[in-house]
Amino acid sequence: MFRNMEYIYKVYKEKSFSKAAEKLYISQPSLSLTIKKTETQAGAKIFDRSTTPISLTDCGREYIRCAERIMDIESGFNNYLSDINDLKTGTLSIGAGNFFASYILPPIIARFQARYPHININLVESDTFHLEKRLYAGELDLVADNYDFDKTVYKKHFFYSEQMVLAVPESLSGKQAAKKYSLTVDDILKGKHLELTVKGVPLELFRHTPFVMLRPGNDTHYRAEKILKEYQISPPVILELDQLATAYHVVCQGMGAAFISDTIVRETLRDSHTAYYKIDSSYAKRSNYLYYKKGKYLTRAIREFLTMLE
């Protein structure tokens, strides 16, 4: 039943018989005949050919789900063989959002590759939704994220903690009452916002300030909503974005305020025309993790990479 799994899975991924045939280096009629044989054996259609692009039937969805489980098993065995070779060959696929992929992971990957030069690192950049889907399908070994993945499906390895602060362009933070709470970029770099003696800003001072927010489905959006609700304010939102780094750049251009992480201040541009404010809220502190699927065989390469974070 799963002898032709590779062909069926390729059609599913490409959503086209012709594109799949091209990628598989076989003719389209040959591919179609092969899949029809499997459908005949199953007694049900796998693909609905009446839609554009083609889609899966109920039987097809179950077939793909089982195929992905088989691929997980095959991948686990191949990774086991890689262990036997003492990391002289193998791959490690890591998924991350724009900020993690651009600033946080590269130096860690560089150290790993210096130690294990024969392990091929594949760094995939995408949003949380698509990264989680690829992690579940076994296409990724690890995903770096601060979003809470389903703990019944995934395990997590602590990466690092960070603190959310409010970044406000100086042109929008001129309220005299707010100035005594203002911190500079150097203060953030020195960790002054983490000191217990430093007071958090009363956010009601910014109830009429335009805000830049991240879109729903992002951990920063979730935390920003919780913090604003705690302070019972609903400032005007002028822009919704996908990436935290982009939101910070928008703040630095003077367009609006945004909740950002202290990590992004340390790792990206350090704007001297932006004021930073400590936030007194349990939602302001968050942990970042590397997630992997439960039941997945952890290769030595994965284990060594996780060890480098400790």
CATH of the domain at 28: 1.10.10.10
Q: Are residues 32 and 51 both part of a single domain?
A: yes
Q: Is the dihedral of CA 146, 130, 248, 102 positive or negative?
A: positive
Amino acid at 57: T
* Residue position matching structure tokens 């899966």: 56
> Whole-angstrom Cα distance, residue 118 to residue 140?
19
**What was the pLDDT predicted at 217?**
82
Residue 70 in any domain: the answer is no
Residue 72 in any domain: the answer is no
pTM above 0.75, yes or no: no
**What was the pLDDT predicted at 174?**
64
**What was the pLDDT predicted at 58?**
95
Q: Which residue positions in the chain have pLDDT lower than 70?
A: 174-175
Q: What is the pLDDT of residues 15-44, one digit of tens each?
A: 999 999 999 999 999 999 999 999 999 999
> Whole-angstrom Cα distance, residue 166 to residue 155?
31
Q: How many folded domains does the chain comprise?
A: 3
**Domain containing residue 225: CATH number:** 3.40.190.10
Helix (H, G, I), strand (E, B) or coil at 117: coil
* Residue 271: DSSP 8-state: -
Q: Are residues 156 and 295 both part of a single domain?
A: yes
CA distances to 2, 5, 20, 46, 259 from 28, rounded to whole Å, are 19, 16, 8, 17, 52
Helix (H, G, I), strand (E, B) or coil at 100: helix
Q: Are residues 96 and 185 both part of a single domain?
A: no
Q: Are residues 263 and 279 both part of a single domain?
A: yes
Residue 240 in any domain: the answer is yes
Domain membership of residue 301 as a residue range = 79-160+288-307
Q: Are residues 276 and 171 both part of a single domain?
A: yes
Antiparallel, parallel or unpaired: β 274-278 and 120-125: unpaired
Instruction: Give one DSSP letter per residue of 35-85, joined into a string.
Output: HHHHHHHHTS-SEETTSSS-EE-HHHHHHHHHHHHHHHHHHHHHHHHHHHT
Q: What is the pLDDT of residues 168-183, one digit of tens each?
A: 998 887 667 888 999 9
> Whole-angstrom Cα distance, residue 96 to residue 128?
8
